[in-house]
Amino acid sequence: MEVSQTNSGAEFLSAAGIDLHLEPKGPGVRAGLTDALRQAVRTGRLVPGTRLPASRTLAADLGMARSTVTECYAELVAEGWLTAQQGSGTRVAARPGPGAGGPTPPQPHRMHRRPAQGLVPGAEDFAEFPRTAWVAAARRALAAAPYDAFGYGDPLGRIELRSALAEYLARVRGVYAEPERIIISAGFHQGLGLLARALKAQGVRAVAVESYGLDLYRELLADAGLDIPALRVDADGARTGDLATLPGVGAVLLTPAHQFPTGVALAPGRRAAVLDWAHRTGGLIVEDDYDGEFRYDRQPIGALQGLDPERVAYFGTASKSLAPALRLAWMVLPKGWVPRVAAVKGPVEVTSVLDQLTFAELIASGGFDRHVRAMRQRYRRRRDQLITALAEHAPGVRVTGMAAGLQAVVELPPGTERAALRSAAQHGLLVSGLTEFRHEGLTTGSHGSDRAALVVNYSAVSDSAWPRALDTLCRIMPPGPGRRPG
């Protein structure tokens, strides 16, 4: 239809797969269209390079003469708002910056990139994501997916993934994991938040946490209204025998296979002690098995959950083994806790069902095992290189903790942590101090709270950047006996 001279409504134009929203208005049909296009470009709503509909298509959509659209385009080309080239069509022209007297459309937000020498925990070399295997698994998963997979999904997660995980976790981590016990979450953070709310709803007042760990998770528990008393960590892991001295604690969050960030394993006697505490009090053990697949000197320690599935809520994640961007994690719960957590989660699945199906196929095909084995070899090589380089160039420090995981603790002489961090920053190296992970409830000078150390993530950089990062790390180390400052 003809666009009236007083039309203040919106017309939706479709061409070349792109929808254009215009509000033509003005004293005439051509003038109204010209002004609407000019305004869309001026405000940056149509960014430089956007292809416009062909004049014939636009004329048909608006019910006006093609010559009217052609004249409109020609005027805007002459003014510099548009460009027209044979074979490329009509596009929005690049605009000069403010200093040249023209408008500058809003530019897309650019995320700051982490420096190439970043060795902080939590980052991985994302170039190692198995793209080829993932795409192949996605293709197979989509071909086999039932029609109901394209709906809103089961809030517990797709049965295909829960079944694949049940088999994998039993085989690799010793977890007793029936599919009915598993709930998929959008990362560990969301899963822990769901469990925290369920604990609060059951009357739990406090969740004990390890004296070293991520403040992100301590804050999450506190935000749920839970107290977070600290269990001190030493060379044998968390002192779980101290749970009896902490009043009101109804659950405890542990990293028993590989304590984060100190890198020690929970000793057998302390594993038994926390299980005894759970039996005696009815408390819940929350096991964060964030990097359980990555043990380098021998077979990984089995999950605590396998010893008592009705007292342990087991958490795992794809963030360390694949990539955080997948937002895939899982919890294996005692039977009585499944409906409680499901009620908190609600009726709608928030994790991508297609990614769940793809991950299930990657596990079932053996592709996930192959990827983990390859990464295990790579990380073991990195850790060995770290130990060798520090022993040669920085005899005043030592690497502590198990041969496992994605990071290592580099013990420093007392009182040198801050100086080492300042030196690292001056050399363009991002690294974390152990103090960063200490529970605020620990006072300076209390057991283990005055350690000076760096937490070095040797998985965080590419193979090409690793030698330089390692060299820089050695140069910022405090001087040892017979060693000059770097």
Average pLDDT, the chain: 86
Joined tokens for residue 262: 């100190």
> pLDDT, tens digit, for every residue of 306-328?
999 999 999 999 999 999 999 99
Please check whether residues 316 and 238 belong to one and the same domain.
Answer: yes
Is residue 20 very low, low, confident or very high in pLDDT (cuts 50, 70, 90)? low
Please check whether residues 338 and 248 belong to one and the same domain.
Answer: yes
Q: What is the mean pLDDT of residues 235-263?
A: 95
Is residue 16 very low, low, confident or very high in pLDDT (cuts 50, 70, 90)? very low
More confident residue, 68 or 457: 457
Q: Are 191 and 329 in contact (CB under 8 A)?
A: yes
The pLDDT of residue 350 is 84
CA 150, chain centre distance (Å)? 25
> Is the pLDDT score of 372 beyond 70?
yes
Least confident of 119-123, 250-254, 267-271, 303-307: 119-123
List alpha helices for 29-90, DSSP H.
Answer: 29-42, 55-62, 66-79
Least confident of 38-47, 212-221, 224-233, 418-427: 38-47
Q: Are 257 and 265 in contact (CB under 8 A)?
A: yes
Residue among 456, 392, 450 nearest 424 (CA): 456
What pTM was estimated for this model as a whole?
A: 0.78
> pLDDT, tens digit, for every residue of 181-196?
999 999 999 999 999 9
The pLDDT of residue 439 is 92
Please check whether residues 209 and 234 belong to one and the same domain.
Answer: yes
Q: Report CA-CA distances (Å) from 129 to 33, 199, 323.
A: 48, 35, 7
Joined tokens for residue 431: 């690294």
Please check whether residues 326 and 421 belong to one and the same domain.
Answer: no
- For the chain, helix (H) and strand (E) counts, in that order, are 13, 17
Q: Report CA-CA distances (Å) from 341 to 101, 191, 359.
A: 59, 9, 23
Please check whether residues 258 and 392 belong to one and the same domain.
Answer: no
Domain-located, residue 3: no
The pLDDT of residue 26 is 66
Domain-located, residue 253: yes
Please check whether residues 258 and 382 belong to one and the same domain.
Answer: no
Please check whether residues 189 and 217 belong to one and the same domain.
Answer: yes
Instruction: Answer with the one of 100, 119, 152 that is the final residue of a domain.
Output: 100
Residues 264 and 400: their CA atoms lie apart, in Å, by 8
Please check whether residues 139 and 247 belong to one and the same domain.
Answer: yes
Residue among 66, 48, 64 nearest 56 (CA): 66
Task: Count CB neighbours of 443 within 10 A.
Answer: 8
- R_g of the chain computed on alpha carbons: 29
Q: The CATH number of the domain where 421 resides is what?
A: 3.90.1150.10
Please check whether residues 66 and 172 belong to one and the same domain.
Answer: no
Domain-located, residue 197: yes
Least confident of 27-41, 218-232, 244-258: 27-41
> pLDDT, tens digit, for every residue of 320-353?
999 999 999 999 999 999 999 999 999 888 889 9
Q: Are 434 and 260 in contact (CB under 8 A)?
A: no
Q: Are 32 and 3 in contact (CB under 8 A)?
A: yes
Instruction: Answer with the one of 369, 397, 423 that is the final residue of a domain.
Output: 369
Domain-located, residue 483: no
Residues 366 and 354: their CA atoms lie apart, in Å, by 19
Please check whether residues 263 and 287 belong to one and the same domain.
Answer: yes
Instruction: Answer with the one of 317, 334, 369 that is the final residue of a domain.
Output: 369
Domain-located, residue 484: no
Please check whether residues 237 and 340 belong to one and the same domain.
Answer: yes
Q: What is the mean pLDDT of residues 107-118?
A: 43
Please check whether residues 155 and 259 belong to one and the same domain.
Answer: yes
Write out the residue range of the structural domain in which residue 418 sits: 377-475
Residues 223 and 348: their CA atoms lie apart, in Å, by 23
> Is the pLDDT score of 290 beyond 50?
yes
Q: The CATH number of the domain where 64 resides is what?
A: 1.10.10.10
> pLDDT, tens digit, for every residue of 203-227?
999 999 999 999 999 999 999 999 9
- If one counts the domains in the chain, the total is 3
More confident residue, 304 or 80: 304
Domain-located, residue 362: yes
Domain-located, residue 51: yes
Is residue 122 very low, low, confident or very high in pLDDT (cuts 50, 70, 90)? low
The pLDDT of residue 136 is 97
Domain-located, residue 123: no
More confident residue, 201 or 105: 201
Residue among 224, 222, 183 nearest 200 (CA): 224
